[in-house]
């Protein structure tokens, strides 16, 4: 059994509409120029002015004292876990959260901490559910040290956690002596959709990160933020896991460009997601979840085909989607997919569904 991703042959055509994920964005000419022209230095010595500028800006955006540049959001999650937790600790998060479903068991493997999944609709749990999972301090039970939320909730359909719920969960966790962490992979989608500033959403969370490789359109980079003491401790884990990025300002410049140019336009992705959902809902056999942000989830049971084979079939027809479970396909809208491309995707999918299975 191989776990490495398959490499397509040179003859494999690009999809006509790439909805596989919002990670599929390509840096445009202006972003590439900004990256090529970035002023750089040695990050290890805090001497890369572009990385420093990015970290200062994201810390202010998220309402935190300090921040740290990392290659990916998954690294942000794991460094946060490693900083907050010790072996044997328990983390509480939604049963479908990225920490559980998409990080290769890293909290268990790297930190020796287990993640206990909490139930709740659309990828969210509430304060009563959290309260029911809290255990009294005991030598017989693992210390509960961290509560994690994911904004937006990916497998919850890209749903936006309401501000009141975020505050209630953070207050309860802190009252129980636990730290709080926000996986902010699509935090700016939540900000644009909900009209609540990022700092307000993250106010009750001891650590939070922002990903630049999804809807914000950069090819590399995420920023983890928290108190100055937290980031100082997190740097030791960054060092242990690979160290500084040295002249990483070229990557950070793409992220700065994204902050300047690609936040407000996320509303276009949300509108295109709704357009796609409405169109797909008219096709035979598809049950479509109406999106809150830029992710559209499609239940395939009515077609009689499971998600993976149907996704492959639609890919051959020119539309790339991702299988997210046995009967669920996901479309991720992003800056490289406009309304015209959405209409083309609806037409191509409709045509493919109208053909008998090959």
Q: Give 178-200 pLDDT, tens digit per residue.
A: 999 999 999 999 999 999 999 99
Beta carbons within 10 angstroms of residue 351's beta carbon? 12
- pLDDT score for 356: 58
Ranges of each domain in the chain: 29-261, 265-354
For 32-79, the pLDDT digits (tens) are 999 999 999 999 999 999 999 999 999 999 999 999 999 999 999 999
Q: Report which secondary-structure segment, H or E, holds 164.
A: helix 163-175
- pLDDT score for 8: 63
Beta partners for 18?
320
For 68-115, the pLDDT digits (tens) are 999 999 999 999 999 999 999 999 999 999 999 999 999 999 999 999
| Cα dihedral sign, 263-264-265-271 | positive
- pLDDT score for 14: 87
- pLDDT score for 160: 98
φ, ψ of residue 320 to 5 degrees: the values are: -90, 125
Rounded Cα distance, 269 and 267, in Å = 5
Is 29-261 a CATH 1.20.1070.10 domain? no
For 222-231, the pLDDT digits (tens) are 999 999 999 9
Beta carbons within 10 angstroms of residue 250's beta carbon? 19
Beta partners for 69?
223
Residue 327 DSSP symbol: S
Would 29-261 and 265-354 be classified into the same CATH topology?
A: no
Rounded Cα distance, 170 and 302, in Å = 40
Examine the pLDDT at 358 and tell me if it is beyond 50. Answer: no
Rounded Cα distance, 109 and 126, in Å = 28
CATH architecture of the domain with range 265-354: Alpha-Beta Complex (3.90)
Mean pLDDT of all residues in the chain? 96
């Amino acid at each position: 059994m191989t776990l490495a991703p398959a490499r397509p042959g040179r003859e494999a055509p690009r999809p006509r509409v790439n909805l596989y994920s919002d990670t599929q964005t390509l840096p445009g000419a202006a972003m590439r120029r900004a990256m090529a022209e970035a002023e750089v230095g040695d990050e290890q010595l805090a001497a890369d002015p572009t990385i420093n500028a990015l970290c200062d800006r994201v810390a202010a955006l998220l309402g935190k004292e300090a921040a740290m540049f990392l290659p990916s959001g998954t690294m942000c999650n794991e460094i946060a876990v490693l900083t907050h937790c010790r072996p044997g600790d328990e983390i509480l998060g939604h049963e479908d959260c990225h920490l559980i479903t998409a990080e290769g068991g890293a909290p268990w493997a790297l930190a020796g901490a287990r993640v206990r999944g909490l139930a709740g609709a659309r990828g969210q749990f509430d304060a009563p559910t959290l309260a029911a999972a809290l255990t009294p301090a005991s030598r017989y039970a693992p210390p509960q040290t961290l509560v994690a939320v994911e904004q937006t909730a990916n497998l919850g359909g890209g749903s936006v956690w309401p501000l009141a719920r975020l505050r209630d969960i953070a207050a309860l966790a802190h009252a129980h002596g636990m730290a709080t962490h926000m996986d902010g992979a699509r935090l700016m989608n939540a900000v644009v959709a909900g009209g609540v500033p990022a700092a307000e959403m993250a106010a009750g969370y001891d650590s939070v990160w922002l990903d630049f490789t999804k809807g914000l359109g950069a090819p590399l980079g995420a920023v983890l933020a928290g108190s100055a003491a937290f980031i100082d401790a997190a740097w030791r884990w960054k060092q242990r896991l690979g160290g500084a990025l040295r002249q990483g300002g070229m990557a950070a410049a793409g992220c700065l460009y994204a902050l300047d140019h690609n936040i407000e336009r996320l509303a276009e992705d949300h509108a295109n997601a709704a357009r796609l959902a409405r169109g797909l809902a008219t096709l035979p056999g598809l049950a479509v979840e109406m999106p809150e942000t830029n992710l559209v989830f499609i239940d395939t049971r009515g077609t009689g085909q499971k998600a993976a084979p149907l996704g492959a079939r639609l890919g051959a027809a020119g539309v790339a989607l991702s299988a997210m479970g046995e009967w669920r396909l996901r479309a991720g809208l992003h800056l490289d997919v406009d309304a015209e491309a959405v209409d083309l995707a609806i037409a191509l999918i409709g045509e493919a569904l109208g053909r008998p299975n090959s």
